[in-house]
Structures are given as structure tokens and as C-alpha cells.
Amino acid sequence: MKSYKIALIKGDGIGPEIVDEAVKVLDAVAAHCGFGFQYEELLMGGTAYDITGDPLPQETVSGALNSDAVLFGAIGGEKWDNLPREKRPESGLLRFRKELGVYANLRPAVVYDELVNASSLKPEIVSGVDLMVVRELIGGIYFGEPKGRDENKGWNTMVYTRDEIVRIAHHAFKIAMSRNKRVCSIDKANVLDVSQLWRETVEEVAKEYPEVELTHMYVDNAAMQLIRDPKQFDVMLTGNIFGDILSDEASMLCGSIGLLPSASVGDKIGVYEPIHGSAPDIAGQGIANPIATIASASMMLRFALGENEAADKIDAAIKRALKEGYRTQDLAQFDAKEVCSTSEMGSIIANYIEK
């Protein structure tokens, strides 16, 4: 029997709860599709710091590189907020992304028909939204030098090289070719030199994809357009920080940030994780929504393992659970037939996996 090696990084806060539910669903789908999983748990984030003194122990990087894919929960929490920057959980995650070379972060925002009333926007605005944020993940202001701070000054640098832009732009155009063939590139070229280079370079790459329609939008306008008329977007191509912000915004089109999965891919191993954080305020209460992580596991099956049929089964099971009216706390006010816990939701979805 075929068996895949999956590195599990549960992380902090609600991370362990939501990853456990994704594993439940993965095991259910594997049983029906005739393959298996071997899981290896690896440490990252605040929990890793507490145990090892490092938010990203070296074994985590080597373990991940030794696997077929990484399924990741979430990291961070107030408890670690006052540590020096390099010891913080977030620094562990950023170093991890860099070491794995996962330069492309794919964040689909798809509105489930069953949840059109859950968005803070009117149903007619959000119904049918199906967009993909393609966010550059290992460059930009998150990593640029110089950076630093002293008592009265703090500074970071937004820098992109042509090669970095070319690489992520190709990724976005290729994805657009498998979708509706439209790319909207987001920048702040009216103010930032780095954005000017971004825009010029994306224009050049676009010449290799004559079937794809390319438009450009300033990031402030994009933030506005995303809630004015989100259906105008197919693929949104962004740098690191703009994509971080716009993907959180896009999640509210869908009703809850607890629904949105992501894939971070590059030349080596991919990382599959919900776009939300570790939500320490609700950790351990069994009320977190595991759907974003379960949907990330589906992306993992599709992109990392090529198990498209299994991924389809998970996507269908999530839809069915929502259609039948099962809701976690975050969506309890929206057409709920039954409000369920994190683990109940995981079990319901696992049971709905079709033979």
C-alpha cells in the first residue's frame, strides 16, 4: 500500500485541536482511497521555544524536508510577545518558510453557497466569489535588509529583486491559466520604487501568457474593490505584506476566517496551513473551526500528493456538513441546524467522506 510521510506541526493555541481534526479526516479518506499516512510530529512556535529554547529547532527543518508534505496548524500567542524578535514564534515560522523555499502562498477565497448569509457583506455581493490570492512569501518587507530598531526608531525595508518577481509572477499566470485567465497584480507603484519594478516585471512575464488578461491595481484601491465588487477578481498577485492583509480581508467575504485554507509551495516540500492564527483566546475550549485546516489537508492531497480524488472527497464532505447545517461557534448565527464542537465537526466531515 502506498504510504505518504506527512510532517505535522501543530504549533500553539488552537493549532493542536484543528490539526487533530484534519488528521481524522485524512485517515478517513485514506481508508477509502487505498493509501496510508505516516505522521511525524515536529515542533515550532512558542511551544517549541518553551521546550527547546528555539521557535524553530533544526530537527523541524530536517524532518519537514524529509517528508512528502507539511500540515501546519498555527503559532503565536501573547505569552511569547515580549521575547526578543528572533525567539518569537513568528520568527520561527518565517525562517521555516525561508528554509523550505516556499515562495508562493496560494490562498483561495471561495464562498460556500450555504454560507452566503454569513458574510458581513450582502449575499448578492459575495455569492459566487471564487478568487485566489497568490502571495509572494519569502521576500519583501518581511525579510528585507536593513531592518532594526533602537529606542527611538524602528525600520524595515521592502525589497524585491527582478528574479523574485519573475518567479512569483510565473506562478500566478500558470494558476490563472487553469482558472479564468485573469491576473490582477497589486502594488503601490504610485509611491514605492519597489512596486515600480514589480509592475514592470509582471508586465514582462505577462508576454509569455498572451491568453491571460493582466490588470494592475494599487493596494489601497484593491482593499476597497475587494469589498465593493469581489467577483471582479480571479487571481490577485501580491507581494508578501499586501497579500497578508488582503487575504485576511478576503476571508470575511466567506463568512469566517476559520474557513480559509492555504498552500505554500516552492521547489521543495510544500506547507499546508489555515490562513488564520493560533487564537489563544479560544484555545482548549473545543470551539475552533477546523474547516480551514481540513481544507488545507485537501489542498495538500491535490498539490503535494496528486491524490485529486481524495481531495474532491474532502471538499464534498465539507460542503455536505455545511449544507446539513452543522456549524462551529464562529458561524453559529448563520442558518445553523446544529452547533458543534471542533472535534464533532471533524467527525462529521470524516463520516461524510464517500466510499
- Among the candidate windows 48-56, 120-128, 182-190, 238-246, which touches Mg ion by CB under 5 A? 238-246
Q: How buried is residue 225: exposed, middle or buried, by Cβ count under 10 Å (0-12/13-18/19+)?
A: middle
User: Is 281 in the active site?
Assistant: no
- Contacted entry of Mg ion, ligand IPM, none for residue 254, CB cut-off 5 to 8 Å set by kind: none
What is the nearest approach in angstroms of Mg ion to the Cβ of residue 196?
25
What is the nearest approach in angstroms of ligand IPM to the Cβ of residue 93?
5
Binding pattern for the stretch 61-90 against ligand IPM, x by CB under 6 A and - elsewhere: ---------------x-------------x
SS (H, E, C) the chain: CEEEEEEEEEECCCHHHHHHHHHHHHHHHHHHHCEEEEEEECCCCHHHHHHHCCCCCHHHHHHHHCCCEEEEEECCCHHHCCCCHHHCHHHHHHHHHHHHCCCEEEEEEECCHHHCCCCCCCHHHHCCCEEEEEEECCCHHHCCCCCEECCCCEECCCCCCHHHHHHHHHHHHHHHHCCCCEEEEEECCCCCHHHHHHHHHHHHHHCCCCCCEEEEEEHHHHHHHHHHCHHHCCEEEECHHHHHHHHHHHHCCCCCHHHCEEEEECCCCCEEEECCCCCHHHCCCCCCCCHHHHHHHHHHHHHHCCCHHHHHHHHHHHHHHHHCCEECHHHCCCCCCEECCHHHHHHHHHHCCCC
User: Is 187 in the active site?
Assistant: no
Site size toward Mg ion (CB under 5 A) is 1
294 close to 321: Cβ distance less than 8 angstroms: no
User: Is 248 in the active site?
Assistant: yes
Distance CA 171, CA 194 (A): 19
What is the nearest approach in angstroms of ligand IPM to the Cβ of residue 168?
15
User: Is 188 in the active site?
Assistant: yes
Active-site residue, from 10, 12, 103, 188: 188
Residue from the set 17, 136, 244, 330 that interacts with ligand IPM by CB under 6 A: 244
- Contacted entry of ligand IPM, Mg ion, none for residue 93, CB cut-off 5 to 8 Å set by kind: ligand IPM
In the complex with ligand IPM, which residue's Cβ is closer, 216 or 247? Answer: 247
Which of 47, 75, 48, 46 lies closest to 59, judged by CA? 48
In the complex with Mg ion, which residue's Cβ is closer, 244 or 330? Answer: 244
Site size toward ligand IPM (CB under 6 A) is 6
- Contacted entry of ligand IPM, Mg ion, none for residue 140, CB cut-off 5 to 8 Å set by kind: none
Distance CA 89, CA 154 (A): 20
What is the nearest approach in angstroms of ligand IPM to the Cβ of residue 89?
8
Binding pattern for the stretch 255-284 against ligand IPM, x by CB under 6 A and - elsewhere: --------------------x-x-------
Active-site residue, from 49, 103, 142, 352: 142
What is the nearest approach in angstroms of ligand IPM to the Cβ of residue 76?
6
Residue nearest to ligand IPM (CB): 90
- Among the candidate windows 69-77, 150-158, 236-244, 325-333, which touches Mg ion by CB under 5 A? 236-244
What is the nearest approach in angstroms of Mg ion to the Cβ of residue 343?
25
Q: Does residue 244 bind Mg ion (CB under 5 A)?
A: yes
**Residues annotated catalytic, as ranges:** 142, 188, 220, 244, 248
Q: Residues interacting with ligand IPM, by CB under 6 A? A: 76, 90, 93, 244, 275, 277
Q: Residues interacting with Mg ion, by CB under 5 A? A: 244
